[in-house]
Amino acid sequence: MQTAEIRRRFLEHFAQRGHTVVPSASLISPDPSLLFTVAGMVPFIPYLTGREPAPYPRATSVQKCVRTLDIEEVGKTTRHGTFFQMNGNFSFGDYFKDGAIQHAWELITGRVEDGGLGFDPEQIWATVYLDDDEAADAWHRIAGLPKERIQRLGKADNYWHTGAPGPAGPCSEIYIDRGPEFGPDGGPAVDTAGDRFLEIWNLVFMQYEIDEVRGKEEFRILGELPKKNIDTGMGLERVAYLLQGVDNMYEIDEVAPVLRRAAELAGVTYGRDHEVDVRLRVVADHVRSGLMLIGDGITPGNEGRGYILRRLLRRAVRSMKLLGIDEATLPELLPVSRDAMSASYPELATDFARISAIAYAEEEAFRRTLSAGTTLFDTAVKQARAAGKPALSGDQAFSLHDTYGFPIDVTLEMAAEQGVTVDEEGFRALMKEQRDRARADARAKRTGSVDVAAYRRLLAEHGPTDWQAYDTLRTDSRVLALVSESEEDAATTGPGEIVRVVLDRTPFYAESGGQVADAGVLAWDGGRAEVIDVQRPVKGLVAHQVRVLEGELREGAELTAEVDYEWRLSACQAHSGTHVVHAALRQVLGPQALQSGSYNRPGYLRLDFAWQGALSRQQRTDIEDVANAAVRADHKVTASYMTLPEAQAVGALALFGETYGEQVRVVEIGGPWSRELCGGTHVRGSAQIGTLALTGESSVGSGSRRVEAAVGLEGFRYLARERDLVRQLADLLKSPQDGLVERVSGMLARLRDVDKELAELRAQQSVAAAGQLAAAAKDVDGVAVVTGSPSGLNGGDLRTLALDVRGRLSDRPAVVLLASEAGGKVALVAALNPAALERGLSANDVLRAAAAPVGGRGGGKTDIAQGGGTDPAGIPAALQAGEQAVATATGR
């Protein structure tokens, strides 16, 4: 049975039993503490924990997941993979243990012709928590499972909680007996390796509230939850390889085609050599994971999700290289993975141009990195061995990673191949320091130095903020809390102090979606404060960072919250302008030019998008023209709410890196011309955007470009500054404005001619000088020594002159030492011919002797060395010191 068919049957089974089918959430986790969605229940956490009311009593999904904690184990075992799919069914205070067990049993044992999975009931075992008599009885009563195939295990195996105070409960796991060829009988309790009895489904019964959590098995149960929930997870890949009769997840229909193609390219056979098999599995797993991550909008980078993606792609490329393939391989492998996965995820096929462009660019970049990094690695290894320590320090490994983009796993693999160790602990410590700094910066932006728990308590006590930013610029509000960075709560605050204020309602837009926060004031009887930042420290709560200007602000105070009208208007212009530029990009460049990030503030917008190579002048002009035509057309700007599937059905663009709930806000500019999911504030008509002028275009990484623009009044000011600059240049050059390009081109051509004439003149002077210097050579114990100090030459010209002089003295041993002063700096060059080298002389020794008197240093090869200094007055002494070094070396 194909994986896509198992997926379809699962969803249909639960849909027929009253479950709402919920599309898979993005691999980008909605939980800020997670890089990726790591389990099927992650999108449902707010409903399972009771933080938000569930929009449906029961739901089902097949959730895309990525876990990378054991990335080094991928391929070495048949169990470890990075991307996987988790089938799940969920009940939010509806059915409980009986219902979960009945639904599961009916699906796994149901006849294939009736839509079931067709597992033999005699092969099924279940585990329950030690004292969960209710679950054990349900398995026997509902499923008819013999009591000897219902085993009781402890908290380590059959109890679930998040690791923090909150909901928890026992769980029941479903196992398939694969037969005696995979191990001894005795059930899951005996088969701790899990080779014979394979777990395919975990049913979690959330029924208790716990606190004092000290570990997996150490916590205190406070009591039963008011609503008991069901959270289940069935591993789709595990079920697939059981139903497809293969040994592991790498051999199922969605993974094996890549493995087979990789083996063909490398000219190897899977299943004959463990080391080869490991590399093929790494390739198959990582190519699929890379495809899915890029499909969800993640781009390779040096931190966070981007780094994980980069690591996966580079491990795949490196594995192919170790299999003997030096050419680019992703163009061969990625389409194979697309074809295998698109039955379940058709968007991979429609979006493949963008996905493949990013992946292929990353491979090319890594191939260059691999070449340069290997050289640096080899140098570091040589230095380590020369020092008698066959080990690379954490600093060296971190430098290879941070400065040159060399992944640590590649460093470790190469080190192991050469019998060298790596201080991985030191590297990890440096990486942790870097991550901690980044997280601290992000956390400080969102919550200041305040523990987020303080905001969670406020949310629990007062409920979510009544947020009215879309409807008004002014509200009558009440201060719920003052949160300072020196202490969690402050009763009052006075002039000059900065504090975070939580209001019961607010008109202020909190920074999100690339749009900066509103500015404005809070005013109360006898006082006033300026709002300098607005954030959402936890979902549902808005916190205003304010500076008190006058009076005393107290908790419970009634006040007026008012947004600065000009600030909001300019911010709306910038945000709507971002949508217009995005639509213009897609119209000019094609649908693959999708936005991957943005930032907009009053008067300015910045938009990052997927694209290879710099834009041409004509493309920039066309994008600006299309954008301004849309502004002039005064398209109507509207916002409406709908479900995510409805928004996708009408073609709304869901921007990468964002997470969305069941209800989404769709912003349209000119109807379908620009239709995006967006939570920002916007103008009412596109003409309100005003002038839109592109000011820059640049690269922000492999496969990603950035455009910047000035908007509204700032756009007009930018164009006015350019106009004034053109006028000033026209006046200076005494040329009409429309003739400036021709005039400047002519001047540049004349300057190039003059530069050429000067170069020829310098060459003639150099030839003459070389002859004069060579003729003035001194004999020092049979060595012709030339010293001189031509003025005004830079290091390159001085080197050319020294080599010319050396060439004129080929009939005998010769040493040339020249020094030149230019701009208060000293350039030094020492050059020796082969005959001088045979006498035991070295250009490095001569240069070091000459460098000291001019306060400099330098070095090079034995035949030519170059350096510099800072004291031109020491040039005569430098030349004398160099001559003396020759005399000493020759024995005079």
Residues making up the binding site: 575, 579, 678, 682
Q: How many helices (H) and strands (E) does the chain have?
A: 25, 34
Residue 628 burial class via C-beta count within 10 angstroms: exposed 0-12, middle 13-18, buried 19 and up: buried
- Structure tokens of 354? 């963008």
* DSSP helix, strand, coil percent of the chain (3-state; round to 5): 45, 25, 30
Hey, is 209 helix, strand or coil? strand
d(CA 521, CA 792): 62
d(CA 613, CA 615): 7
Output the known binding site for Zn(2+).
575, 579, 678, 682
**Residue whose structure tokens are 């049913």:** 203
d(CA 91, CA 206): 10
**Residue whose structure tokens are 């699906």:** 107
Distances (CA, A) of 664 to 69, 227, 339, 831: 32, 27, 30, 73
For Cα atoms 113, 115, 120, give the angle at the middle one, nearest 5 degrees.
Answer: 75
- The helix (H) or strand (E) run that includes residue 573 is helix 565-589
DSSP result, 318-365: HHHHHTT--S--HHHHHHHHHHHHTTT-THHHHTHHHHHHHHHHHHHH
Name residue 304's amino acid.
G
d(CA 170, CA 281): 35
Hey, is 609 helix, strand or coil? strand
- Structure tokens of 820? 């030149």
Residue 232 pairs with which residues in a beta bridge?
203
Supply φ then ψ for residue 52, to 5 degrees.
-135, 145
Output b/e per residue, 313-347; b: 16+ Cβ within 10 A. Answer: bbbbbbbbbbbebeeebbebbbbbbbebbbbbbee
Residue 29 burial class via C-beta count within 10 angstroms: exposed 0-12, middle 13-18, buried 19 and up: buried
Contact 232, 219 (CB under 8 A): no
d(CA 555, CA 481): 5
For Cα atoms 214, 219, 222, give the angle at the middle one, nearest 5 degrees.
Answer: 140
d(CA 381, CA 419): 10
d(CA 805, CA 815): 9
Residue 21 pairs with which residues in a beta bridge?
60
Hey, is 604 helix, strand or coil? strand
- Structure tokens of 421? 């160790």
Q: What is the separation, in whole angstroms, between the first and last Cα of the chain? A: 92
Helices (H), 387-478: 394-402, 408-417, 424-447, 452-462
Q: 427-433 contacts: CB < 8 A, separation 24 or more? A: 427/394, 427/397, 427/398, 427/401, 428/394, 429/394, 430/394, 430/395, 430/398, 431/398, 431/401
d(CA 156, CA 217): 6
Q: At what angle do helices 330-341 and 274-295 cross, to 10 degrees?
A: 70
Parallel, antiparallel or unpaired: strands 498-503 and 474-483: antiparallel
